[in-house]
Amino acid sequence: STQSEKTDPGRPASESPALPLPQPVQVLDIQIHQVLQIFIDNKWVPSSRRKTFPTFNPATGCKICDVEEADQEDVDQAVMAAKAAGQRGSPWRRMDACSRGKLLHQLADLVERDRLLLATLETLDTGKPFLQSFFIDLEGSIKTLRYYAGWTDKIHGKSLRVDESFMCITKHEPVGVCGAIIPWNFPLLMFMWKIAPALSCGNTVVIKPAEQTPLTALHIGSLIKEAGFPAGVVNIVPGFGPTAGAAIASHMDVDKVAFTGSTEIGQLIQTAAAKSNLKRVTLELGGKNPCIVFADCDLQLAVEETQKGAFYNQGQCCTAASRVFVEESIHEEFVHLSIEKAKKIVIGDPLDPLTSHGRTVIDQQQFDKIMDLIENGKKEGAIFGPVQCIIQALGARKRPSGRANSSQYGLVSAIFTSSMDRALSVSAALETGTVWINCYNSLHAQTPFGGYKMSGIGRELGEYALAEYTEVKAVTVKLNERL
């Protein structure tokens, strides 16, 4: 999940200062007649077995369209195209770094041009409110592309003085073919989180969008071709995890795989990567994310931010504020304010710009899972869905980080207090990859994102992500001592 600096996704759209509001694009004619194909080697192709699957609007239950289903054979074709595009001497490998950056900027320009259409498609496919798609997901996607466009000509090694007889230089080279498997909760944004750093470093990509939400990924395929990327640099293979996803994770010619999703599937991907060719793995997995609310905080701010964390995107975020620990002296008032705030959430048609909270989760399976977790919530202590769990904590002197860390996960956490000394002390004790102080869901392209413990391996975004997509080569030269 991500958040624009200018837009508060927890606030009803009717309070937005930006008027007139953007209106969704009418795309009903596109929905009915077209079967969307696989994007391989800059071409639209049918699946090898001519199989298709439907994608649905979760807000209405209506089918949007059919999509060609990729499986092992299609992944093989996509990997072959990506490998050829990344060969030494290919147009992509011969391209200078500035030109790679120009292509990423061009793609960002095209995404900006099609922003209304992409936001509409994202809302149709996910059920999230249109204004969140437009202001949050599209804004974050464009910024991610532009950020990594700026990095392309700044990825370089070092010159190391070993001793008088030798000199060593290091080079940062592309890993090769990078596989990416992305989730259904932020389809477009996760697409950009994966391809932008990979392309910035000179890699090629085979990416599988979630079967529930393939539409924006496929439209980006047309923009990648329009932007002028060489054939085979980006390949998009919509399909299912046990077939297309497993094929990417176990493929002998995929050099690295990046995955965002559940811890259980992340473990399967890491196993497949190890059993195949020991490919690199970046995993951004689940979270049971704690918020610690101290009595000296700005109470209204804490209520708004923790509720945003719990309910944003219908609660379908790996960063969801799953456990809110509130200091005993303010617990009753915090609960009261949270209830009143929740009553003001505008629930309705996701395509209505006045809607701030979609009236649906992604599909029936996820709904049933949430309802089951609610029944077991007292044991679990957290839920991946639109539920806020508020827990009364003891006084501020009782080391609240202990309860916050009592989880196998460590993705994000938040602290609400007016004491910066306390905030920094507690943040040092929290075992999470991100700590937010007096805010929530504040993600930026410049800031690394990833988790401790079973919340993942490696980092996405920021300069830190570049290390996940490059190999470091040391070149040692024996110096001539007779000059």
- Catalytic positions, written as ranges: 284
CATH number of 38-286+461-471: 3.40.605.10
Give this prediction's pTM: 0.89
Locate 78 and state its tokens: 């996509």
Please give the pLDDT value at position 146.
Answer: 98
**C-alpha to C-alpha distance for 8 and 14, rounded to whole angstroms:** 12
Instruction: At 112, list the tokens.
Output: 């900006």
Residues of the chain with CATH 3.40.309.10: 290-445
Give the model's pLDDT for residue 23: 80
Q: What is the pLDDT of residue 483?
A: 64
**Which of 397, 405, 448, 395 lies closest to 430, judged by CA?**
405
Peptide bond into 214 cis (omega under 30): no
Whether 138 contacts 119, CB under 8 Å: yes
Residue 402 has a pLDDT of 86
3-class secondary structure, 22: coil
Kindly tell me the number of DSSP H helices and DSSP E strands found in the chain: 17, 23
For strands 347-348 and 452-453, give the pairing: unpaired
- Quickly list H helices, 212-329: 215-227, 246-250, 263-275, 299-311
Describe the chain by its helix, strand, coil percentages, rounded to 5: 40, 20, 40
> CA angle 348-359-57, nearest 5°?
100
Residue that is written with structure tokens 């699957």 in the block: 53
- CATH code 3.40.605.10 region(s) in the chain: 38-286+461-471
Q: Take residue 99 and report the two structure tokens written for it.
A: 């030109």
Helix or strand (DSSP H, E) at 441: none
Place of tokens 């099609």: 114
Residue 198 CA from chain centroid, whole number? 14
Amino acid type, 42: N
Report whether 459 contacts 469 (CB < 8 A).
no
pLDDT for 12:
37
Please choose, from the candidates 405, 401, 381, the residue with its C-alpha nearest in 3D space to the C-alpha of residue 391. Answer: 381
CB 247 within 8 Å of CB 217: no
Cβ burial 236-251 (10 Å sphere, 16+ → b, else e): bbbbebebbbbbbbbb
Q: Can you tell me which residue has the tokens 């007096």? A: 438
Tell me the mean pLDDT per 10 residues along the chain, length 483.
35 44 66 78 97 93 94 98 97 96 98 96 94 96 98 95 90 98 97 98 98 97 98 98 98 98 96 98 95 96 95 88 94 94 85 74 68 63 66 72 91 97 95 97 97 97 97 93 70
Q: What's the sign of the alpha-carbon dihedral 123, 18, 22, 36?
A: negative
Q: CA Rg, the chain, in Å? A: 23
**DSSP conformation class of 376:** T
pLDDT at 13: 37
Q: How far is CA 151 from CA 155, 220, 223, in A?
A: 7, 21, 21
Please tell me the distance from the alpha carbon of residue 50 to that of residue 189, in angstroms, as a whole number.
29
Listed residue (460, 474, 343, 350) closest to 412, CA to CA: 460
Q: Which CATH number fits domain 290-445: 1.10.3720.10, 3.40.309.10, 3.30.70.360, 2.60.120.590?
A: 3.40.309.10
Element (H, E) at 422: helix 420-429
